[in-house]
Amino acid sequence: MNVFRSGEDYVFALTYGTDVDWVKNVLAADGCELQTRGRIVALRDAVVIHDPSRRLMPWLVRVFLGLMRVTDFVRMRPAA
């Protein structure tokens, strides 16, 4: 799973596209739980973003995702 922080948000790079089951499930549920660094973070407000510039990704990741032609992402916010 390729997930990165962008400010307070979590951004998932959709290396297999938007038509995969986990993306459909997260969108239907409007969120999910993410286990990261030994803790579980509840996420909400799932939205698919088409971004050919990959501006929400760190610079080096942006380069590799460009080589893989990844242009779609899911952005979510931590639940309160």
20-77 pLDDT per residue, tens: 999 999 999 999 999 988 999 999 999 999 999 999 999 999 999 999 999 999 999 9
1-16 pLDDT per residue, tens: 789 999 999 999 999 9
**In this model, does residue 19 exceed pLDDT 90?**
yes
What are the angstrom distances between the C-alpha of 58 and each of 5, 7, 20, 28? 9, 11, 24, 28
Give the whole-angstrom CA distance, residue 68 versus residue 52.
11
